[in-house]
Amino acid sequence: MILRNTIAGQLVLLLLIYGRHTLLSSAKTVANEQMSLALPEPRAYLPDAQNLDFVYHDHEELTRFLRATSARYPNLTALYSIGKSIQGRDLWVMVVSSSPYEHMVGKPDVKYVGNIHGNEPVGREMLLHLIQYFVSSYNTDQYVKWLLDNTRIHILPTMNPDGYAVSKEGTCDGGQGRYNARGFDLNRNFPDYFKQNNKRGQPETDAVKDWISKIQFVLSGSLHGGALVASYPYDNTPNSRICRSSALCAMFQTYSAAPSLTPDDDVFKHLSLVYARNHAKMSRGVACKSATPAFENGITNGAAWYPLTGGMQDFNYVWYGCMEITLEISCCKFPPAYELKKYWEDNQLSLIKFLAEAHRGVQGFVFDPAGMPIERASIKIKGRDVGFQTTKYGEFWRILLPGYYKAEVFAEGYAPREVEFVIVEQHPTLLNVTLQASKYIVGSIGNAAARKPKKERKQRHLLNDELPMPNE
């Protein structure tokens, strides 16, 4: 699927500057012409051993690679830290894009998070190779160039560097290194939609929560190990038995866990299938071990697999409308380094094609009567109770499958509005909405807010996503 190129994006930016709110027909023409082209598949990537080989990298080596890459490709990368771990290790994020240091109007932000469990580092290494693949292929691979020209990709290779530091290569099971330096499972440390999570917030999870509150991420993947499956929300359910770890849950397969489905279940299944079907093995649904479950088509609802409280993917979705799934990409949690090349070959296409799904569905702007963007306007697709908000530029994105939809749009000081639109397979639908000032602010906004889920009404959206220049 192809999206608008930067020319179309610039045209939309001009609309904002001059206060006009009708899409130019030329912008549509450019977008549609680009969408009609057929891009070749991404090409195979061969690493430069002088820069990045298929080995595990400790935190110092990881930091050196990221800094060197940022220095070598200053027009494609931006390196920043969202905080520090308990033991003072930076939580590095690398932006890879043709506009790495600033948000370009109309260009969605997406992210990958690796190594949330310290003893599951395959994803950590895959993300380093993904960075290397992007920057080294930008000028020679049409698909990579398209993706980076139209998307800002944020990559957090390790969310739990302290846990990784005490993990042992070759250890396929067990919990050594899974937790952070205080013994907390970071994927049980987020606010939960279904049940109160009383676990004390940790610096690593607090940093991630602050990060995603400031950037309007559209799509996200969290990379794990210990199974081979793409798992989608919800991870929790209001009436299920909770397992403390995947290893514990594997011991209790005698009880039948029920799926806990989101209003966007069709989209989550589609996203999971995109990853699984582009993976070399995942979609076969083969069990890692005889005692572990097999997954039809290589995907599963999280709660149907095993329920958990405080998971990161549910938090992304409910609080911020970001479509995140969990990607279990290795049967062995910490396989020997000589197997990493095989894992890259298995996951390369999936990692790329998944991010491209950010350009499926509807995208557009919300304006006031003068044609100026409305920040933090709330949008909800009718029948899908989890909403999302516009950026400070009035932008919004929502991944949807082909069909007919209605959107409810409301903002403080404006009369709510309902708009109808159609999604097609070939390209995203461009939708602009103008809201009129309301004389009945209390009634209009109160009624609109009342239709939002309780948890969603607690959302805080700080959308200043401009990045500081890195220190020399």
Catalogue the active-site residues.
Answer: 328
Amino acid type, 105: V
Question: Bridge partners of 222?
Answer: 113, 326
Question: Do residues 173 and 250 lie in contact, with contact meaning Cβ atoms separated by under 8 Å?
Answer: no
Amino acid type, 64: R
CA distance 276 to 299: 7
Element (H, E) at 96: strand 90-96
Picking from 332, 219, 336, 227, the residue whose alpha carbon sits closest to that of residue 279 is 227
What is the per-residue burial (b if ≥16 Cβ within 10 Å, else e) of 316-349? bbbbbbbbbbbbbbbbbbbbebeebeebbebbbb
Q: What are the DSSP calls for 389-455, one per residue?
A: E--TTSEEEE---SEEEEEEEE-TTB--EEEEEEE-SSSPEEEEEEPPB-S-HHHHHHHHHHTS-TT
Percent composition of the chain: helix, strand, coil (DSSP 3-state, to 5) = 35, 20, 45
Strand order in the sheet with 362-367: 395-398, 362-367, 429-434
For the beta carbon of residue 66, count every other beta carbon within 10 angstroms. 22
Amino acid type, 406: K
88 contact partners, CB below 8 Å, separation of at least 6? none
Q: Which residue has the tokens 């799904």?
A: 357
Q: What are the DSSP calls for 305-361, one per residue?
A: H---SS-HHHHHHHHH--EEEEEEEESSSS--GGGHHHHHHHHHHHHHHHHHGGGSS
For the beta carbon of residue 1, count every other beta carbon within 10 angstroms. 15
150 contact partners, CB below 8 Å, separation of at least 6? 3, 4, 5, 6, 9, 107, 359
CA 353 to chain centre: 13
